[in-house]
A and B are shown apart, each in its own frame.
Chain A
């Protein structure tokens, strides 16, 4: 049987998703029986964007993109990869939802540059130089770097996406699942999330339904730095704000297993359009009264960054607001 031609592209991410694939170690070597890696840049394989551009359209069977669209390079390469690929997968929280870095959209470009190139304590930049898309070095070498776009986009906001995978990073098993499905000719419906469809609470061993406790209104608000949570009891019940009820539980509740509340990297469970808004709904209705809600808002000072930690850009409302921010700035 012909091998599945596979590509990986790192857009505006941290390469953590790719680390997760590499973590398959021997399994990845075995998988190469069925896979042929035709492109894996800029991290793993020695290929150039030019090589990708020269491939015939539709010649790649399965392409994964990790990272959001942050600059002109990301935008260009995902468009090229889309044309070359039969199946394009948004792999991980950044590509499918925006991810951590998408919270940068809550700030203007000027604020971000100032923080990154002037104010951060590890920066040594006495002349206050900012990167520019073009630079003439020694008066003769014209250097160009990608342009920083006005706002982030998810993969699906710029190209057509076949499948979505959540997680920061996603579980590498999804790669195996898709390759198996292609070989068996049994692909899931286009545009769907690859998920077991269960919420984190469903797989969490602290769930009051499993431990036989009654779920009560939450009366206390704690941040993760406040004391040591009871490792057996539901974190939300103890006052640690946990997004388990609305997050895909393909992770097996791994954060919960180490006493850390869920922050929603797995993406929304089926049926949710706007992760953060539904998280507001879920959290607010478990709080006992208005006084607890007021305490919650005081302890967590930025609601947008809390509820949209991994999914800021995927929200239509946020995306529209961030499209405007540079015009107003």
Chain B
């Protein structure tokens, strides 16, 4: 594990029904993962506007993680299907805009997958450490 100062800053948008519950479970399970993610609870991954993700990246977040329910599990029936379409296009848009799209990740993590949440955050953190800090970052935080 590297020093905290070298930890990437990840903004996480987590659906309250699945991924946020998964993060809770990760805590209960005492699953270990780096303290690099700042989780924001949203009602549904379908609520995450692509605007939020670009705003986070423009303001210097090293990575953005969007977490939703597995297909068929959405509390609102089809929110995550819309998320899947949006994020697929957004990832290509980020790349076409001349930015490293590896900084943005979409994962389906259910409320039962505490270990998966910890694993995803750990893996994403390591990947971002390998890529280095967000070049859009302008001093301070």
Q: Which residues of A contact B (CB under 8 A)?
A: 106, 272-274, 276-278, 280-281, 283-285, 287, 289-290, 293-294, 296-297, 302-305, 307-308, 315-318, 320-322, 324-325, 328
Contacts and interface: CB of A to CB of B under 8 A. Distances in A.
Interface in B5-61: 46, 49-51, 53-55, 57-58
B92 A284 contact: no
Given A278-B49, A320-B58, A284 B89 contact: yes
21 contacts: A106-B96, A273-B51, A274-B50, A277-B54, A278-B50, A280-B93, A281-B50, A284-B82, A285-B82, A293-B85, A294-B88, A297-B88, A297-B92, A303-B92, A303-B93, A304-B97, A304-B98, A316-B54, A317-B97, A320-B58, A321-B97
A274 B54 CA distance: 9
The 3 closest A-B pairs by CB, nearest first: A304-B96, A277-B50, A284-B85
B93 A285 contact: no
Given A274-B51, A278-B51, 19 more contacts: A274-B54, A280-B50, A280-B90, A284-B85, A284-B88, A284-B89, A293-B88, A304-B93, A304-B96, A305-B96, A308-B97, A317-B58, A317-B99, A318-B97, A321-B98, A321-B99, A324-B136, A325-B98, A328-B135
B140 to A, nearest CB: 15
Contacts of A317: 54-55, 57-58, 97, 99, 136
B70 interface: no
A112 to B, nearest CB: 14
B97 to A, nearest CB: 4
A280 B58 CA distance: 17
B86 A280 contact: yes
A305 B95 CA distance: 12
Interface in B85-113: 85-86, 88-90, 92-93, 96-99
Contacts, number: 90
B35 to A, nearest CB: 26
A304 B136 CA distance: 18
B89 A280 contact: yes
Nearest to B86: A284
A290 B58 contact: no
B108 to A, nearest CB: 13
B115 interface: no
Contacts of A325: 98
A9 B125 CA distance: 49
Contacts of B96: 106, 302-305
Nearest to B134: A320
A130 B76 CA distance: 58
A289 B78 CA distance: 11
Nearest to A303: B93
B120 interface: no
A325 B99 CA distance: 10
A199 B93 CA distance: 24
Contacts of B98: 106, 304, 321-322, 325
Contacts of B99: 317, 321
B49 A281 contact: yes
A318 to B, nearest CB: 6
B51 A287 contact: no
Interface string B110-141: 00000000000000000000000001100000
Contacts of B54: 274, 277, 315-317
A325 B58 CA distance: 14
A315 B88 CA distance: 20
B130 to A, nearest CB: 18
B85 A287 contact: yes
Nearest to B57: A317
